[in-house]
Amino acid sequence: MRKLVQEATNLSSLVAVIGASNDSDKFGYKIYRDLKNKGFTVLPINPNHNEIQGDKAYPSVIKAPFQIDIVNIVVPPDVALEVIKEIKTASLDPMPTIWLQPGSESEEIIEYARKNGLPLVYGRCIMTESGKHTHV
């Protein structure tokens, strides 16, 4: 997992934030803003909004017109599992690294990812791992 974390926290990575939000109380807001402020190219993914923090939002990773390097998931585990199954079914090439934020993970998700050979990071916060985070 260490190698995945190092690769994923490279500023050249395109990060899709599943659960990006306009609500400043939510972690989807804080993570999206933090990564943008650090210089990452970040795509907001939220099927309930057309725009997040002034950026065009996409309803799913599959509908984003870009090759995504990291899928950072900031939603409850039941939603996270559906997102991961959608990514697996779409057979994205190359397969993005799936990063489960604390609170988005479950044993079922971890087992599913392992059984399907999906690159997975869990138990770590992307804001912490991507360097000193900015004030959000």
Number of domains the chain is built from: 1
How sure is the predictor about 86, in pLDDT bands with cuts at 50, 70 and 90? very high
Residue with tokens 């585990």, as numbered in its chain = 77
pLDDT band for position 7 (50/70/90)?
low
| Residue 21 binned pLDDT confidence (cut-offs 50, 70, 90) | very high
Would you say residue 135 has pLDDT above 70? no
Conformational region of residue 58, where left means phi above 0, alpha means psi within -120 to 50, and beta covers everything else: beta
Domain membership of residue 123 (yes or no) is yes
- The predicted pLDDT at position 136 comes to 42
Whole-number mean pLDDT of the chain?
89
Tens digits of residue pLDDT in 121-133: 999 999 888 874 4
Instruction: Please check whether residue 85 lies inside any domain of the structure.
Output: yes
Task: State pLDDT tens for residues 98-113.
Answer: 999 999 999 999 999 9
H helices present in 1-136, as ranges:
2-8, 27-38, 77-90, 107-115, 126-129
- Whether residue 73 lies inside any domain: the answer is yes
- Judge whether 99 lies within some domain: yes
CATH of the domain at 14: 3.40.50.720
- 39 lies in some domain: yes
Question: What residues make up the domain containing 97?
Answer: 2-129
